[in-house]
């Protein structure tokens, strides 16, 4: 079955996490993604991750996470010959994704104006820390720096322990997901207009979007969000210790659910008719819930409450979550039996949604640096002699 982006060529001139993840999502859904890396300074993610041997071998876990279905060309864009090859590659492309410091590609003669003159239908997506322009436009950052800059860290943690960064690079992956959405939008628009597009995507904006309700609340009330840890404004949305010391997170969020919860707990007298009543009685509700929830284990509470459609879940570790039978039904993970440069099997996430037909597929393992250089150069019309000259001159 045809996947959504089959026939679309994407030039992936990105590094680390956000940009490569965006290109990876398109690759899963059929795009021909060609990853361009400097042979002398490859993608930083190749040397990152908890498996030190893979990192030393240039196939780090961070790279493996989002390298499947891509082809790799090693190309030094600081050389004139490298830039000419890149331009020839762009002439065959639908999409370019780059995440270098704003102005870097323009300085190389590879900015939007130059490349759209070569390929008028090109969708040129630039991912950066703060966007192009503005007082921070030339600044650079990583996920955790953006968390600090946007206030995400100060609203995370507890009243006594804050600020705290997220345990996962959520801003990077949210930026990659947003970039994939932006690219899909631009491709859909191009189908109607026939015109290319310039996309300016900032991690800064994405991080603030992750806090969208807090942004709107502060704009209205002038009150910044507080680091409340595992607590919530409503007692029935908080985390509690249970009989065996494990934790359960309640999610009886709306009026109907909290009424159902109190009835199940044989305390219908605690049910409220309005959210104002819940806010006013929060301290007492938390004390009552704390006593009741210590009478069973978190697993028992989860099973009991979910059976009556009250959201609740035991707090789990990542290994526990990955072992959950539910995950096996979602086609979320793909196990590679092996790959060049990788000794043994490894597993990577795929896509966070399923299509009834033509969905995400992993068709090839992550490539070693420059694994497809000769083949791609051949597709562009270079013969063996020209390729040998490029190698001799360290262009590829």
By annotation, the residues acting in catalysis are 172
CB 237 within 8 A of CB 252: yes
CA angle (146, 148, 153) in 5-degree steps: 120
Token pair belonging to 295: 């009478």
The tokens describing 49, both together, are: 């991750």
- Residues 138-168 as b/e (b if ≥16 CB within 10 A, e otherwise) read eeebbbebbbebbbbbbbbbeeeeeebbeee
Task: Tell how far CA 380 is from the center of its chain.
Answer: 32
For 340, residues 6+ apart whose C-beta sits below 8 A from its C-beta are 365, 367, 368, 371
For helices 298-306 and 255-264, give the axis angle rounded to 10 degrees.
120
b/e string for 335-347 if b means 16 or more Cβ within 10 A? ebeebebbeeebe
Tokens 């995370």, residue? 156
| Those residues with Cβ within 8 angstroms of residue 348's Cβ, 6 or more apart along the chain or in another chain | 64, 65, 66, 68, 333, 334, 336, 362
Q: What is the spatial distance between Cα 365 and Cα 349, in angstroms, rounded to a whole number?
A: 13
The alpha carbon of residue 353 and the mean position of all alpha carbons in its chain are separated, in whole angstroms, by: 13
C-alpha to C-alpha distance for 126 and 9, rounded to whole angstroms: 17
Instruction: Extract the tokens encoding 153.
Output: 């860290």
């Amino acid at each position: 079955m045809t996947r959504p982006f089959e026939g679309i060529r994407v030039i992936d001139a990105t590094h680390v996490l956000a940009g490569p993840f965006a290109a990876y999502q398109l690759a899963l859904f059929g795009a021909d993604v060609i990853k361009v890396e400097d042979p002398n300074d490859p993608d930083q993610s190749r040397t990152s991750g908890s498996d030190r041997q893979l990192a030393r071998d240039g196939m780090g876990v961070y790279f493996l996470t989002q390298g499947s279905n891509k082809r790799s060309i090693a190309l030094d864009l600081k050389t004139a010959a490298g830039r000419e090859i890149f331009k020839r590659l762009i002439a065959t492309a639908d999409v370019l994704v780059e995440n270098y410091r704003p102005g870097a590609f323009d300085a190389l003669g590879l900015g939007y104006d130059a490349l759209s003159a070569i390929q008028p239908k090109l969708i040129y997506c630039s991912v950066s820390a703060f966007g192009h322009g503005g007082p921070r436009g030339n600044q650079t950052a990583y996920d955790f720096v953006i968390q600090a800059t946007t206030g995400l860290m100060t609203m995370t943690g507890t009243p006594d322990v804050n600020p705290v960064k997220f345990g996962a690079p959520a801003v990077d992956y949210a930026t990659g997901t947003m970039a994939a959405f932006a690219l899909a939008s631009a491709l859909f628009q191009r189908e109607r207009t026939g015109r290319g597009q310039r996309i300016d995507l900032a991690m800064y904006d994405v991080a603030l979007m992750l806090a969208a309700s807090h942004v709107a609340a502060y704009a209205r009330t002038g009150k910044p969000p507080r680091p409340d840890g595992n607590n919530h404004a409503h007692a029935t949305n908080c985390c509690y210790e249970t009989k065996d010391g494990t934790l359960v997170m309640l999610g009886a969020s709306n009026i109907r659910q909290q009424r159902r919860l109190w009835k199940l707990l044989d305390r219908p007298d605690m049910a409220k008719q309005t959210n104002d009543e819940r806010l006013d009685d929060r301290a007492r509700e938390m004390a009552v819930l704390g006593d009741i929830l210590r009478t069973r284990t978190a697993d028992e509470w989860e099973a009991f409450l979910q059976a009556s459609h009250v959201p609740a879940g035991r707090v789990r570790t990542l290994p526990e979550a990955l072992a959950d039978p539910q995950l096996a039904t979602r086609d979320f993970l793909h196990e590679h039996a092996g790959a060049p440069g990788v000794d043994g099997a490894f597993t990577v996430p795929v896509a966070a949604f399923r299509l009834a037909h033509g969905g995400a597929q992993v068709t090839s393992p992550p490539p070693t640096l420059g694994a497809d250089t000769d083949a791609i150069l051949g597709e562009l019309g270079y013969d063996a002699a020209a390729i040998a000259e490029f190698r001799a001159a360290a262009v590829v």
